[in-house]
Every structure is written in structure tokens, then in C-alpha cells.
Copies of this chain bind each other. A is one copy, B any other.
Amino acid sequence: MKTRITEAFGIEYPIFQGGMAWVSEAKLAAAVSNAGGLGIISAMNLDADYLRGQIRACREATDKPFGVNIMLMSPHVEEVAQLVMDEHVPVVTTGAGLPEKYMKQWVPAGIKVAPVVPSTAIAKRVARAGATAVIAEGCESGGHIGELTTMALVPQVVDAVDIPVLAAGGIADGRGIAASLMLGAEGVQCGTRFLCANECQIHENYKKKVLAARDIDTQVTGRRLGHPVRGLKNPMMRAMHDMEYDSSKTNEEIERYGAGALRRAAIEGDLETGTFMAGQIAALVKKEQPAAEIIREMFAEAEKLLAEAPKWLA
């Protein structure tokens, strides 16, 4: 499948693997890149030493393009923003903020930038700042989310900018890819489906929880704090949710309560106090399998649907 996304990023399939904190490590990213997608390492809220190690591990495992996701609220954002230039990382995606300040350096340095955008206004801003593409991510996705859904956001972003758009949120099979193309996107970014890739090194409890998830098993917390997060329902998510509706609790208390929960989920598999980020499409993840098989399966299904689409015309 050829789109402006495959051309611009030099990849075989128009699919990015989302940058997920404590999940998207070099091993998963390299596996996705080797399979013809764009693997992405998450810089999360760790420092340049961590990221340097990940970038080098990824380069040892693949000679294909890969990316780094920079979380703009990270306390180490300045040093990791510099590191991706020093290391000549081919692609940077950004989340949780406005990347223009950093794009002023990245774009002239030849880094292809694809920010995650929650609205048309932000899509237009990053397009003006030289983005190669934008990732229009709907609130059905796991992790930090915006307000708009994929179905509503993607066509509006497509109308707002001339650069190619990747759809993200709620996509875990070929139907989601084919639907995204109909909405005007030219590629997709998937997170949840890759949680159960063999190469994904999260705790076994996390994978089990994703495999057991039903459609209604995710929940959003953090709306009151202004940065909502979607994850799988568990005691931690329920406690956070209850605290938000208790106005005797300060925002600082709630933040403190949630601190470290992602790590506890992904590394320790702590079912009680971890936050297991996953999207509403988790129920479509049926088994653990190699990243390459995930990508081949998804695109085989999408290609069949697109080839057969004219059947609907009476």
C-alpha cells in the first residue's frame, strides 16, 4: 500500500507503532520497523542517558527508519530534544503539548516530525511549523487523550491541513485501517494492538489484562486535572475516578496518588495500584503474536476490504 505516509517516511506499510511510556522500548520499535512499519521508542519522562541507550539498541536491531516519541511535559524534554538531533533520529513524534519551539531545530536538522494533535487548530500550527505529517488521535485511544474521537477528528484535520494525516485511536485491525483511509487519512498509528506483540516487554499481567478486556473495560481518569488518561478498569482507576468527584481532594493530592502507576503496571504488573493504559479497542486483541504478523494480518484485511469496496455500489 502506497500513500504519502509510506513515501515521506520511507516505510512499506503506512503504520506507526505508538510511543507508549514504559511500553515502547527499542525491542518493540525495532520489530515494527523490521516488519515494514515505523517503530517508535518512547522517551517518556526519563533522561537522555536512557533514551541514548534505547536509540542505540534499536539501531543494533534494525537498519530501517524508526522514531522517538517525545512527551513534551517531561522534566527532561530539553535534553532529549537535543539528543534526537545528536543521534540523527529519522523521525520524532510528540505528545502532551505544543512542539513548535523544538521543531525550529528539528526540522532544519532533517528530522521528520509528526506531532500528535487533538484539534484542527493545533494541526494547522504544527503544519505551519514544518511537520511532515500529523497524527490525529481520537480519545478512544489508551493513555493521555484529547476530547475528540477518531471518527470526528480525522476528517476535520484532513480538511484543515495539506500534509498527510495518520489516524490513531480505536484502530486494531484491517477494518480500522480501511475506515481511516475513507476518512481521508493516509496511515494509522496503533498502540493497543502492539501491547500484545511478542517483542513488547511489558509484564505478563498487563498482556493478560488486555487479552481479557471487553469493550466496556476501559475508563478515563484525570478529566478534572485537565489531562485525561484512558486505561483498563481496576482498583487504581476506580479510586482515582472517585477522588476526582470529591471536591475535598486537591488536584495535587490526586496527582500524587497517581504517581508511578504506569511503571507499576508495565514493569511490576501490579494489578491493584498500576495504571494499565489501553484503548477501547482492546477487546479486538485476541492473542500474543509477533509484531510482523500483526502488521501483515491488519494490512491483508484492509487490502481485502478496499479491493471489495465497490461491491456496495448498487
Contacts and interface: CB of A to CB of B under 8 A. Distances in A.
A224 interface: yes
Interface stretch (A75-83, A84-92, A126-134, A175-183): A175-183
Interface in A54-95: none
Interface in A274-296: 279-281, 283-284
B244 A245 contact: yes
Interface of A: 1-3, 119-121, 138-140, 147-153, 155-156, 169-171, 173, 175-176, 178-184, 214-216, 223-224, 244-248, 279-281, 283-284, 303, 305-307, 309-310, 312-314
A186 to B, nearest CB: 9
Contacts of A139: 149
Nearest to A12: B314
Contacts of A313: 1, 303, 306-307
- Highest count of chain B CB atoms <10 Å: which of A153, A170, A312: A312
Contacts of A149: 138-140, 149-151, 169-170, 280
A156 B284 contact: yes
A152 to B, nearest CB: 4
Nearest to A246: B247
Given A151-B151, A152-B279, 17 more contacts: A121-B216, A148-B215, A149-B151, A149-B280, A152-B169, A152-B215, A155-B284, A156-B283, A175-B182, A175-B184, A179-B179, A182-B182, A306-B309, A306-B310, A306-B313, A307-B310, A309-B310
